[in-house]
């Protein structure tokens, strides 16, 4: 969600080669595509809202009302909805650590992390990774779906059909190296050459976050950046 959609479209077109088409959801919402395949959505938000620009993951659910109830029952916050949007129903929430996310019931958008040209992975930056894994596992009913949850030291990997689609990173509340950073979801976008994409981002008005507020990129060849509207995202080298 951005304040100036034209600026955001120009930026991501330069960095990731996206093209854009209109959407049936709303006149202020466009779908980004690569090679004709949808990869993300960009919508317009009111300028008085803070932060002005932010990437938000939406999780597909079978029942938005039941999901909202599970979120509240587990001490988290449902901030918006569930409400009708297009052919589906959508809600916005914050987990127990304050990281925001959306949930979507009904018709789902045609992109998913790890599929085709879509973002390579979603990463949760959190203070207590094991508490987060329990929370999202219960709210999103991972046990009933085809997900495999793998615990590794201070992070958790969530796999779908042997492909990592989510990464939860942090550690215990007292020991987490991310304790000074705001909990948030980050989107990894796969590119063929990270440094070329970083250079394109700098030339198009992007920036590198200051150390005090920067997200810590997962291990591997990746860079965390900020778009002209202030939204954080990660560029990750695309594996063959």
Report the predicted TM-score, pTM, of the whole model to 2 decimal places. Answer: 0.84
Number of residues that make up the chain: 240
SS3 for 173-202, per residue? CCCCCCCCCCCEEEEEEEECCHHHHHHHHH
**Token pair for 138:** 């219960």
Q: Using CA atoms, how far apart are residues 171 and 132, in angstroms rounded to an integer? A: 10
User: pLDDT 10s digit of each residue in the chain, 240 long?
Assistant: 888 999 999 999 999 999 998 877 667 789 899 888 888 889 888 766 666 788 999 998 989 999 999 999 999 999 988 988 777 888 999 999 999 999 988 876 667 776 777 788 899 988 888 889 999 999 988 877 678 888 877 788 888 878 888 899 875 445 545 445 678 999 989 888 898 999 999 999 999 876 544 455 444 467 889 999 989 999 988 876
Q: Using CA atoms, how far apart are residues 172 and 151, in angstroms rounded to an integer? A: 13
């Amino acid at each position: 969600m951005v304040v100036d959609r034209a600026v955001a479209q120009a930026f991501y077109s330069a960095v990731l080669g996206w093209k854009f088409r209109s959407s049936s959801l709303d006149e202020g919402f466009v779908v980004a595509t690569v090679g004709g395949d949808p990869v993300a959505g960009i919508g317009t938000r009111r300028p008085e809202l803070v932060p002005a620009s932010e990437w938000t993951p939406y999780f597909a659910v079978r029942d938005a009302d039941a999901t909202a109830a599970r979120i509240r029952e587990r001490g988290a916050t449902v901030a918006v909805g569930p409400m009708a949007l297009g052919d589906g129903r959508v809600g916005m929430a914050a987990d127990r650590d304050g990281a925001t996310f959306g949930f979507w019931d009904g018709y789902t958008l045609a992109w998913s992390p790890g599929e085709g040209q879509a973002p390579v992975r979603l990463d949760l930056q959190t203070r207590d990774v094991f508490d987060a894994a329990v929370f999202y596992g219960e709210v999103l009913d991972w046990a009933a779906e085809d997900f495999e949850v793998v615990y590794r030291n201070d992070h958790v990997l969530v796999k779908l059909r042997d492909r990592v689609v989510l990464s939860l990173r942090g550690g215990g509340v007292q020991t987490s190296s991310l304790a000074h950073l705001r909990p948030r979801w980050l989107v990894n976008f796969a590119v063929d050459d990270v440094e070329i994409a970083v250079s394109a981002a700098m030339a198009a008005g992007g920036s590198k976050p200051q150390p005090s507020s920067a997200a810590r990129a997962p291990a591997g060849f990746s860079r965390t950046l900020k778009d002209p509207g202030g939204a954080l995202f990660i560029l990750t080298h695309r594996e063959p």
